[in-house]
A and B are shown apart, each in its own frame.
Chain A
Amino acid sequence: MTQTVKFYQTGTLTVGNRLLDSDKRTVQASRNRSNALTCGHRACQGCGEALGARYAIDAAMRAANRDLVCVNATGCLEVFTTPYPETSWQVAWLHSLFGNAAAVASGVAAAMRVKGKATRVIAQGGDGGTTDIGFGCLSGMFERNDDVLYICYDNEAYMNTGVQRSSATPPAARTATTPAVGAAPGNVFGTGKNLPRIAMAHGIPYVATATVADLHDLEAKVTRAMGLHGARYIHILVPCPLGWGAASHDTIRLSRLAVESGLFPLFEAEHGEVTATTPIRRRVPVAEYLKPQKRFAHLFRPDAPGAQEALDRLQAMADANIRRFNLLSAEEAVR
């Protein structure tokens, strides 16, 4: 046997493991992780956004040697972390407005550049703050190739204001502004934005998608992004138990199923070209992902109008992703 002994069999997918070399463990496995987002925050139980933000910023903190500034858009992440008199952030952090995080970050980056500091800059916001109201500033930041990593925590609606539809809300999903009533309940089909692909169209150095279900993948992408300069974009799917009508313990499982169903493809792109995709390990039909979420409950009610058709269309979307990103290619055994 020429293979060196590695930790293949009890799981390289876990957060850490006593048997792994420390460089093979995630940042989250370390007792010295920065906990950029620390305890006492007011996110709901099982909030994917709280988790995703700590994952991403801790990884970025490590990559940047803690020389990092974060700019935050208005939204749940901002509200649950910084209600006076307490903040949960342990990173230099600035909140300005809902729609200007990317521009504010450009300003911070410009200041650092002009002052000759190596400090890295991250802007972050929810899907609403990113795909809708902050889109202009984001596109401008991309287009100027400002040295900012923008991270979108996509929970697929305006959660902080009570679950209204955003341009990242998936078709058929029930939100407060796309109620599950009428002939075509939930959000309409054929609308919305695919921001990762729009970001790619800007030709920026790096674009990636990630979820809170695969920490190794997420951290690798954040680390990769931090290793580059110029405008970079990472889009992280972060289930919201409240808005999705899901159990608080299902946050990670749902992220996983979103990927495994093909609805949320994981990929990386550089300068507008896809450079890598994360293959699906155990493919599941979309229904398996949708069913635990109350926002899709109307699709599973017997004789609900158009339910089967909607399910078929969602499945077709997943299938199209799988084709587009070639997600069923043989899994690499070693990563």
Chain B
Amino acid sequence: MTEHPFAITLDAGTSLANRTGSWRTSKPVYADHLPPCNARCPAGENIQGWLYHAESGDYRAAWEVLMRDNPLPAIMGRACYHTCEDACNRGRLDQAVGIHAVERFLGDLAIREGWRVEPGPPTGKRVLVIGAGPSGLSAAYHLARMGHTVTIADAGPKPGGMMRFGIPRYRLPREVLDAEVERILAMGVELRLNTAIDDIPRAMAEGGYDACFAAIGAHLARRVDIPAVAAGRILDAVSVLRGMETGAEPPKLGRRVVVYGGGNTAIDVARTARRLGAEEALIVYRRTREMMPAHDFEVEEALEEGVLVRWLSTIRRMDEGSLVVERMELDDTGWPRPTGEVETIEGDTLILALGQDVDTTVIERVPGVEVNKDRTIRVGPDLQTGHPGLFCGGDMVPSERTVTVAVGHGKKAARHIDAYLRGAPQESAPKHAVAGYDRLNTWYYTDAPRTVQPVLDALRRQTTFDEVKGGLDETTALFEARRCLSCGNCFECDNCFGVCPDNAVVKLGPGNRFRIDYDFCKGCGLCAAECPCGAIDMVEEEI
């Protein structure tokens, strides 16, 4: 208190005595909403969460957040079809964040740096995992983190499942695959190769396992009857691709290879045929390009590599060195129907890429297990079969067949197995509402400067399947990570702290976000309106 005249002159800052919070009818509350990318990630990654660390250049922290959900980032950054990017809010602003590219960058960096994950404190429980595909590997990883002792048994000579025997090398270098598998094994997971399990209950009993996760994939190629003079020239895609990995020599294909089917496998096998020296690789598909299940960018790349495609065609017959195809047309409902018009095309090898079924022989005998009509295994929401302690995931259960789904199943199964082993129900955190585009105040997001933009665009377009092109380097990765809008989650932009006319937002310092001082907050709602990422809700006050 300074000496000064009464009433006319006042001491600085004395209005703190006036608690304007009592004026409020609604109040701002910080909330973490679910970013659309996270919501759409089949592996349940906290994408925004790890991009947050990547943005600041703390790649180790980013990688660690990423590894909480997905043990295979270098693989996924390459092979995942990144549905997250379709959902990315930034796509509505300019272009989606190249999430996969940053993920791959982090995965590669971790391999280069030899970053490891420690297993959890031992629980004394033993779990058998059947199949070293992505699903089995993921389950093993998560179970090991929880401290369980894990053994993986795989029938094949090498781990990876379809990641090795399906996805071609040029899209997924085997060093990458090996490195990420090795990191899981380094956690103490035991891998037994060339070990086909044919009696699960017995294997469990003999090995003293407390639970089992089976992820044997879907390896039986579907076939159609095509009359042929030389049936030997009709192959299936899975075998061809597998032959690339197992045989001493690559499979022998003809000069003119015809692939029948429209999925990613068809594309892979056609591109592989080109790489094996086929002069011509032609994909025959009975529907239109729009209807093709293969991803657009893969079709695009195949076309760039000289793969030919005949849409709206079916194969009638295979002759010596040629095939007869029938043209299809779309009916009024847009469905293809035969026209009766046939044509002969050249071709000496026909590869069928019509999808795969699960080989259920090993599991259907297990008491309590049910097989669906489509040959998949019936499981509950906890991925448990009717046989207590036996869980299944990946391609063998009904769902989309992707590496990412398989990895997600592995994590989910691990949690439920853990709960099963502890005898406690698995409690999942409540799901937050998705932070849609309309929650954002996009004004605050700026674009990359003109000098940087084209480089990023090119990198973003890049599939990263082509290893010749390479991924992001550190600088570009940082740029890309920083494009994230942090949908629904505070990224400490200080807007709320700045825009409050009543200084009622308290800044808690780096990493600690903010707090509302309800003694002074009048509830004007400016903080919520001006939060770029929609991390503040206005909640009615009870009066």
The chain A residues found within 8 Å of chain B, CB to CB, are 1, 3, 5, 7-19, 25-26, 28-29, 31, 35, 37-43, 45-48, 50-51, 54, 81-82, 84-91, 215, 241, 247-253, 256, 281-282, 333-334
Q: Does B334 contact A (CB under 8 A)?
A: no
Secondary structure at chain B's binding surface: helix, strand, loop or mixed? loop
A18 and B15: CB pair below 8 A? Answer: no
Asked if A249 and B525 make an inter-chain contact with CB atoms under 8 angstroms apart, the answer reads yes
Q: Which residue of B lies closest to A91 (CB)?
A: B12
Residue of B nearest to A282 (CB): B443
**In the assembly, what is the distance between CA of A45 and CA of B484, in Å?**
32
B492 CB-CB contact with A under 8 Å: yes
Q: Any chain A CB within 8 A of the CB of B381? A: no
Annotate B486-516 by CB proximity to A: 1 below 8 A, 0 otherwise: 1000011111011101111001011100000
Residues of B within 8 A of A45 (CB): 23, 522-525
Interface residue B115 (Cβ < 8 Å from any Cβ of A): no
Q: Which of B511, B519, B532 interacts with A14 by CB under 8 Å?
A: B532
Question: Inside 8 A of B493's CB, which chain A residues have their CB?
Answer: 10-11, 14-17
Q: Are B494 and A51 in contact (CB under 8 A)?
A: no
Asked if B335 is an interface residue, CB under 8 A from chain A, the answer is no
Cβ of B524 and Cβ of A16 under 8 Å apart?
Answer: no
Contact with A along B187-227 (1 / 0, CB 8 A): 00000000000000000000000000000000000000000
Contacts of A26 in B (CB 8 A): 494, 498
Q: Given A40-B20, A41-B502, are A11 and B444 also a contact pair (CB < 8 Å)? A: yes
Q: A5-B479, A12-B446, A86-B10 are in contact. Are A249 and B524 (CB under 8 A)?
A: yes
Within 8 A of A (CB), among B149-202: none
Total A-B Cβ pairs within 8 A: 192
| Chain A residues in 8 Å Cβ range of B443 | 13, 256, 281-282
State whether A11 touches B494 (Cβ < 8 A). no
Which residues from A are CB-within-8-Å of B517? 39
Taking a contact as CB atoms under 8 Å apart, the answer to whether B55 and A19 are in contact is yes
Residues in A whose Cβ lies below 8 Å from that of B538: 249
Decide: B526 and A10 in contact? CB cutoff 8 A.
Answer: no
Contacting residues, chain A, for B494 (C-beta < 8 A): 14-17, 25-26, 28-29
**In the complex, residue of chain B having the shortest beta-carbon distance to the beta carbon of A250:** B529
Which one of A5, A7, A81, A90 has the greatest number of beta carbons of chain B within 10 Å? A5
Which of B101-109, B408-416, B450-458 contacts its partner? B450-458
Q: A19-B56, A35-B503, A40-B20 are in contact. List 17 more A-B contacts (CB 8 A).
A: A5-B478, A8-B452, A10-B482, A15-B498, A18-B491, A18-B510, A29-B498, A37-B503, A39-B15, A45-B524, A46-B524, A54-B501, A87-B11, A88-B15, A251-B524, A252-B529, A333-B448
State how many angstroms separate the Cβ of B504 from the closest Cβ of chain A: 6
Selected from A42, A250, A281, the residue in CB contact (under 8 A) with B20 is: A42
Name 22 interchain pairs, CB-CB below 8 A, sorted by A: A8-B446, A10-B482, A10-B493, A14-B493, A15-B498, A15-B499, A18-B56, A18-B511, A19-B55, A38-B13, A39-B15, A46-B501, A46-B522, A46-B524, A84-B10, A85-B7, A89-B13, A248-B525, A249-B524, A333-B447, A333-B449, A334-B449
Chain A, residue nearest B491 (CB): A10
B residues at A contact (CB < 8 Å): 7-8, 10-20, 23, 55-56, 443-452, 455, 473, 475-476, 478-479, 482-486, 491-495, 497-499, 501-504, 507, 509-511, 517, 519-520, 522-526, 528-530, 532, 538
A281 to B443, CA, bound (A): 9
B228 to chain A, nearest CB (A): 55
In the bound complex, how far is the Cα of B523 from the Cα of A38, in angstroms? Answer: 16
Q: A45-B522, A85-B14, A86-B17 are in contact. Are A38 and B449 (CB under 8 A)?
A: no
Q: Compute how far the CA of A18 lies from the CA of B58 in the bound complex, rounded to whole angstroms.
A: 13
A87–B56 touching, CB < 8 Å: no
CB-CB nearest in chain A for B503:
A39
Contact A87 B503 (CB under 8 A): no
Question: Once the chains are docked, how many angstroms separate the CA of A3 from the CA of B23?
Answer: 49
Which residue, of B7, B475, B522, B523, has the highest number of chain A Cβ atoms within 10 A?
Answer: B522
